[in-house]
A and B are shown apart, each in its own frame.
Chain A
Amino acid sequence: MGFPEEVLEHVFSFITSHTDRNVVSLVCKSWYEIERWCRRRIFVGNCYAVSPAMMIRRFPEVRSVELKGKPHFADFNLVPDGWGGYFYPWICEMARAYPWLEEIKLKRMVVTDDNLELISKSFKNFKVLVLSSCEGFSTHGLAAIAANCRNLRELDLRESEVEDLSGHWLSHFPDSCTSLQSLNMSCLSSEVSFSALQRLIARSPNLKTLRLNRAVPLEKLSTLLRRAPQLVELGTGAYSAEIRPDVYANLTEAFSRCKEVKGLSGFWDVLPSYLPAIYSVCSRLTSLNLSYATIQSPDVTKIITQCPNLQSLSVLDYIEDTGLNALSLSCKDLRELRVFPSDPFVANANVSLTEQGLVAVSEGCSKLQSVLYFCRQMSNSALTTIAKNRPNLTCFRLCILEPRAPDYLTFEPLDVGFGAIVEHCKQLQRLSLSGLLTDRVFEYIGKWAKKLEMLSIAFAGDSDLGLHHVLSGCDSLRKLEIRDCPFGDKALLANVSKLETMRSLWMSSCSVSLGACKRLSQKMPRLNVEVIDEQGDLDSRPDNCHVEKLYIYRTVAGPRFDMPSFIRTMDQNPTYRS
């Protein structure tokens, strides 16, 4: 504590994790002061947990801000339009307070063209814009970013919903812009000017990541690749063209020059005849996203068996058990597997992907840590086998397509299987449940899942006891999202203080009463208890009626005021109401 400030500041500069920096600031007042002046990166996991003014007041010299808005279930259409998550108040204040801001990363927020224009004009040294699953803006906003951000390094629009008015925005990058390192425009549908794209790539010697959109034709891909042999991550456009030997030859040759490519994605509309063109890069691939490629198991297998260094794979269930078996034999370095459903809305698909595929991968891939798996059948024995094979799992998300589907062999609930997962995988941080589940599975989770930070529950449980097990047992729980479960007032009201230790709790189509929401809000002033009711008549509802949707989160910013009429924050001081 006798060190001069500069020394401490220098030491702190090596501490980069947000949690560590938060801990540092708690040591003593002077450390708090020093730390807050030299903090450069801020992460706000819930944009309503703190206000922009508070952030700016405490951290005046920030260079990078990351914000998250809507709850995760917004991805599945469970959060109504107009819910919130507006970037507007943040950008207004940051434009004034952080002239040296370099990075903005947003997830599930509403961003407008005006916001984008404000970004492009407020920060002289702006470098990185990541808009993940955002919405509210159009290609006009992108044009402003392209035109005005002189030192732009990264523009990543992953999975955002963009009003695509034209591809002209890309042509707004001035000829003087040579700083681009990463461009992800895969979510856009309009065709950009190919010559503008080509020239942009040619004058960006540091371009490492390029994710094209579907409209970039395969015939032209080789032209682009030839100008960017230094690429590390490539997302193709549509991967089909008329079958022409010259196109094929050009493509094969262009890929063979890409000695640095480690990750591939894109692959919409795949024409399998063109797939061998990528074989030359396969041996170096660590990441492969074929989850939009509607190709059959033999074609998928041919590729992955040539990728011994693969660490991350995303595929459709067309890979089938046979493909997953091949994966387990070929890709011994696999860390992450995601298998998506090709036809999620039918009960029976003609795709032979079962629990066996996942079991095989769990056996063969000793480094497997992260799983996202959609399938149509599961058994307790398979889950137990997986758990015992892979105690190093940190993320296990299983989605059995039919809600409440039991163990297909024994008809029993899948409690024991998931119980095995949480018991053996002691480092598990994220878990998504599905299938037929009773309160018992939650007993196991509360008992074993001590490192669990995020839990997703749907169509599960019998009673409040289930929820109580989770809230009282999961010591590390930060995010809990629940839909269509018979959980109600008792569990919530018995665990009120737990809720303040978590980022957020989402419950929809459960059995929580309006009265309980009010009581909870009164007991816990530092929680916002927001009730969403799309019937629009909350005022006239009796206290014993069940709320449709409930979103509870801790905050130091008090209730928010940007809500639409069908969302209410429960009153914390009803006695003072006029």
Chain B
Amino acid sequence: MDTTFRLGGAGDYADEEELELGLGLSLTSGAYAPSSNGPLSNQVVGWPPVKTYRMNSLVNQAKFSKNEGEKGAGEESTSKKKKNKNHENKNDETVTKETGHSGFVKVNMDGLPIGRKVDLNAHDCYETLAKALEIMFLKASTSASFIRTEKQQRSRLLDGSSEFVLTYEDKEGDWMLVGDVPWRMFLGTVKRLRIMKTSDANGLAPRFQEKNQKPKNKHIELKR
């Protein structure tokens, strides 16, 4: 077997494989530093490589300790820890110790035999959740397509422009359209998610309206 190894240059590969240093980071003079206070510019599946078990544990704790109101190390510890996440009123959605609510919920998509799991606690709004699901289900094949710019438009799963729409099953077993209730309320009630064909989802609207007595919104109000 010929063991000499000849390789082409970077041109062998599609442009998308090019090293993308942009990533929403500004490489100004001076030390490198991620420029945004927001999420990591690449929200991809399985990165950073922190075990599911650990993520669930940590995030459930964060909720718990916020609600406690007891900070032995002083008030500054809370604000120090939580500066980067904007959360709504902490006191209404109490997560009790016994819940052990896993941040991971199953997601299925019409037409695909397999389900995945998504960590709801890795997101603080519908937008990032929907984008993560887009990555997982709608753009599974390319490695670099997830690289995002700041100007990325709103997720198609939420604004009704895609042939698919994002729905969830709540605690009472009803299927609802994702996006109509405040994020934290959604977290407290969601059992699993389903990416449904928009045509199939039309039946949801009346039920949803009944339940909440308000007209279906085409544009989701994002809560931050």
Contact = CB atoms under 8 A, between A and B. Distances in A.
B34 interface: yes
Contacts of A343: 81, 84-85
Contact of A214 (B20, B68, B97): B97
A340 B53 contact: no
A406 B25 CA distance: 12
A534 B46 contact: no
B46 A76 contact: yes
Given A75-B49, A463-B7, A511 B13 contact: yes
Interface in B28-69: 31-55, 57-58, 61-62, 64-65, 68
Contact of B39 (A341, A345, A409): A345
Interface residues of B, number: 76
B54 A340 contact: yes
A335 interface: no
Contacts of A403: 23, 42, 44, 47
A346 B40 contact: yes
Given A81-B117, A159-B53, A405-B32, A294 B62 contact: yes
Contacts of B152: none
Interface in A351-381: 374, 376-377
B34 A78 contact: no
B37 A347 contact: yes
A19 interface: no
Contact of B100 (A190, A299, A341, A509): A190
Contacts of B3: 494
B88 interface: no
Contacts of A341: 48, 50
B213 interface: no
Contacts of B27: 411
Contacts of B81: 294, 318, 342-343, 350
Contact of A350 (B21, B31, B83): B83
B37 A346 contact: yes
Interface string A260-276: 00000000110111100
B141 interface: yes
B141 A535 contact: yes
Interface residues of A, number: 87
A348 interface: yes
A411 B73 CA distance: 37
Contact of A294 (B61, B97, B99): B61
A341 B114 CA distance: 30
Contacts of B36: 347-348
A296 B80 contact: yes
B64 A269 contact: yes
Nearest to A481: B49
A431 to B, nearest CB: 14
A278 B40 CA distance: 37
Given A291-B54, A298-B73, A346-B39, A566 B20 contact: no
Given A159-B51, A345-B43, 18 more contacts: A133-B51, A189-B100, A243-B70, A269-B61, A274-B72, A296-B73, A341-B48, A346-B85, A347-B37, A347-B39, A348-B33, A399-B49, A404-B20, A405-B32, A411-B27, A456-B49, A463-B8, A484-B144
Which 3 A-B pairs give the minimum distances between C-beta atoms? A189-B100, A272-B72, A76-B46
